[in-house]
Amino acid sequence: MSRDNFEHEFFGIGIQNGKTPENLGVLWRTAQNLGASFIFTIGNRYAKQSSDTHQAVKAMPYFHYDTFDDFYGNLPKGAMLVGVEMTENAVDLETFHHPRRCVYLLGAEDHGLTAQACKKSHHLVRFQSVKSLNVAVAGSIVMYDRNLPKPRFNKR
């Protein structure tokens, strides 16, 4: 069965080895506002966030995975993994067609995604930026782009 033979679309977003709890709180709040179905972390675990002023923690599921393998083994059925990384083989976000069902994975600002995460991603995307951005800002840009009125869904 093709990964896009599902009636309903959804997306989740999360951070691998995030550095601060504030980043997760801001990403969580933005995810709620821009239509994410869930949020997650891999590696570092954080509790309730003071930056989550909209109480997104009560509005959407949060999942935590100790390792990338644990996370990857629990990807939702039919979902494609979209890594966000400033790398040569990544597709420009501005021209990327978002899958109907996907999980966006962001890395920490200083180290980015692990090599394993990049290798296992179905797609890698990047956007125009001279240097790396704050992880919550980068995630917000990706979610905003998903909502733009451009062709959105991969035919894959």
- Please report whether residue 155 resides in a domain: no
Domain CATH for 85: 3.40.1280.10
Asked if the structure places residue 3 within a domain, the reply is no
Are 154 and 5 in contact by the 8 Å Cβ rule? The answer is: no
Instruction: Specify if 57 maps to a domain.
Output: yes
- The domain in which residue 122 lies consists of 14-146
- pLDDT, residue 1, reads 36
Domains in the chain: how many in total?
1
Whether residue 153 has pLDDT greater than 90: no
pLDDT tens for each residue of 47-100: 544 544 545 556 789 999 999 999 999 999 999 999 999 988 999 999 999 999
Confidence band for 2, pLDDT divided at 50, 70 and 90: very low
In a domain, 8, yes or no: no
The pLDDT mean for the chain works out to 84
* Cβ-based neighbours of 73, under 8 Å, separated by 6 or more: none
- Which of 5, 153, 28, 13 lies closest to 77, judged by CA? 5
pTM of the model: 0.85
**pLDDT of 22-56, one tens digit each?**
888 889 889 999 999 999 999 975 554 454 454 55
The reply to whether 153 falls in a domain is no
**Which residues have C-beta within 8 Å of that of residue 82, sequence separation ≥ 6?**
98, 99, 102, 103, 104, 105, 121, 122, 123, 124, 125, 142
